[in-house]
Amino acid sequence: MRRPVRVREVRRAGDRLTVETDDGTWSARYVISATGTWECPYVPDIPGREQFAGRQLHTVHYTSPEDFRGQRVVVVGGGNSAAQILAEVSRVAEATWVTLRPPQLMPDDVNGRVLFGVATRKASGGAGGGVSDRGDIVMVPSVREGRDRGILHARPVFARLTARGVRWADGAAEACDAVIWCTGFRPNLTHLAPLLPGSRRGKVAIEGTRSVDEPRLYLLGYGDWTGSALATLVGAGRTAKATVADIAARLRGSP
């Protein structure tokens, strides 16, 4: 293990792959790419973003509700991050919540232990146990408190930003000082561009976790398309073990 190291690119070199980094170059028979999504926050290309005179930030840059005290804030997104940030910001600011579709709140008794069990059953091919997909909102204490204050009411996503705020398709408008984009992330695959030009779009063809177009490359941890229940330790661990076992078998000559 070497750290900290930044990989610049992975490219073909005969029967091997070359990994070029800021700390040297490695030659490998197989490469596992597991760079995740945190460095690629996604903000939808909604008209007027460049015209808005207020502050715009993504979940990854959010630090404290105190940054928005006394302001008018629009929180965009229907997942856990949006609900938790809304619950915090709404204590010190006038907050509006907008989502692409109506948010789904989980029952109060669904916690991390329950979700762990659900992910395990799904990864094993079993039923989900009545709990919805990952996009549903877990009622952590801050979100329950926000619900009790009556702030968990979302409006449909607006059609555009204006210089002073947001505007819906029906012409309704709302002024705001800040927009917080809780709109997720995209896979960080720029280092794979020399191998797979299509990777710049954030998704590549795989069988299991193995690249279809470059069979010496495996991808882990970029979303459900690289394995089930990867937002949990059990899901990520199971997929990683299967990937390593497959590579080990190929190195022995018996895939």
Query: Tens digits of per-residue pLDDT, 148-164?
Result: 999 999 999 999 999 99
**Total domains in the fold of the chain:** 2
> Is 122 in the same domain as 153?
yes
Residue 118 sits at the vertex; the CA angle it makes with 113 and 119, to the nearest 5 degrees, is 95
* CATH number of the domain encompassing residue 87: 3.50.50.60
Domain range for 191: 7-38+186-251
- Please give the residue that has the higher pLDDT: either 203 or 5: 5
Report pLDDT for 212: 92
pLDDT in tens, 6-22: 999 999 999 999 999 99
Q: What is the pLDDT of residues 171-186, one digit of tens each?
A: 999 999 999 999 998 8
Whether pTM exceeds 0.85: no
Q: Is the per-residue pLDDT at 82 higher than 50?
A: yes
148 shares its domain with 100: yes
Domain final residue pick, 125, 154, 181 = 181
| Domain final residue pick, 181, 206, 225 | 181
pLDDT given at position 210: 94
The distance in angstroms from the start CA to the end CA of the chain is: 26
Residue 170's pLDDT band (cuts 50, 70, 90): very high
pLDDT digits (tens, 9 = 90+) for 108-127: 777 656 665 665 555 555 54
> Are 92 and 164 in the same domain?
yes
pLDDT tens for 43-58 read 999 999 999 999 999 9
Report the chain's mean pLDDT, rounded to a whole number: 88
My answer on whether 157 and 205 are in the same domain is: no
Residue that finishes a domain, picked among 151, 181, 211? 181
Q: Token pair of 7, please?
A: 């990989």
192 pLDDT higher than 90:
yes
Residues 132 and 219 in one domain: no
pLDDT of residue 118: 60
Answer for the pair 246, 255: CB distance below 8 angstroms, yes or no.
Answer: yes
